[in-house]
Amino acid sequence: MGKLALAAKITHVPSMYLSEQPGKHHGCREAAIEGHRIISRRCRDLGVDTIVVLDTHWLVNAGYHVNCTKTFKGTYTSNELPHFIQNLSYEYDGNPALGRLIAEAATADGVHTRSHEIDSLNLEYGTLVPMRYMNEDRHFKVVSIPAWCALHSLDDSRIFGAAMLKAIEKSDSTVAVFASGSLSHRFNDNGSPEEAMHQISDEFYAQVDHRVVELWKAGDFKTFCAMFPTYAKACVGEGGMHDTAMLLGMLGWDKYDHGVEVLTDYFPSSGTGQINAIFPL
């Protein structure tokens, strides 16, 4: 029987990659990168063999999908921010068996899902950025799931998340699941100064984000889930925050009551609100 070993909400800001490059931004996201490294070590200690990434940079307009090809390999340049991420080479192993089980379980529970084993279906940077810091040695197999769900309900994503847990437990894998996306996600307006890369776009978003983090640290997911749909809309949650809906669906939704462990304190990035946090099991 398979096992869910670790769950987390993580950042994937492209300035993490920029932080590696020589120049004035070198090292600016070291805290976020270190958060990823800590998560990687935790996963290794727990015997994790597969990481499932709920990727808010993979846009889908119809249905739910799973990218679970045998091998992911390529060179990636962001079409959104090519001045931040360009020519990023990657190679990871996939877990087709787990991906198929996730699609089957979600479809059986009423959320139609397709699994794909297509070599030309490339990974997005919501998966590639964290895997760069967690999985450079290809220690973990990777499954990527789109969580920028443009025309989907949060409730369907909740159901999808619950089905994902069933699939994991039916598999032969020890799995970590990461909701890869921001809290508030209102980017700075075009033309904003470069120093705004370290600012929030509106203080309202920061204040609500901080309250959400307080609720998460207190394990008050009953309150959070009650405010979740309004929060996701009012604070422009990344991808509609379907990654978080999937994660919480997997963990029990408003019945989940563990206080999260913050590994990287809340920080603003180009107007958005970011965090690395483990959701204890």
Distance CA 183, CA 205 (A): 9
The first and second tokens of residue 147, run together, are 């969580």
Averaged pLDDT, 203-208 = 98
pLDDT over 80 at 45, yes or no: yes
**In total, how many domains does the chain have?**
1
pLDDT band at 19 (very low <50, low <70, confident <90, very high): confident
Secondary structure (3-state) at 159 = helix
Distance CA 240, CA 244 (A): 9
Q: Which of 250, 175, 171 is nearest to 2 (CA)?
A: 171
Token pair 């297509």: residue: 118
3-state helix, strand, coil in the chain (%, to 5): 40, 25, 35
pLDDT at 141: 98
More confident call, 228 vs 24: 228
Instruction: Give the domain extent around 13.
Output: 3-278
pLDDT band at 24 (very low <50, low <70, confident <90, very high): confident
The first and second tokens of residue 175, run together, are 């799995």
Query: 180, 246 in Cβ contact below 8 A?
Result: no
Token pair 């997997």: residue: 250
Residue 130's domain is classified under what CATH number?
Answer: 3.40.830.10
pLDDT over 80 at 150, yes or no: yes
Which secondary-structure segment (H or E) carries 82?
none
User: Which residues are paired to 53 by β-bridges?
Assistant: 144, 178
pTM for the structure as a whole = 0.97
pLDDT at 18: 84
pLDDT over 90 at 28, yes or no: no
Token pair 């290794």: residue: 44
Averaged pLDDT, 174-196 = 91
Average pLDDT, the chain: 96
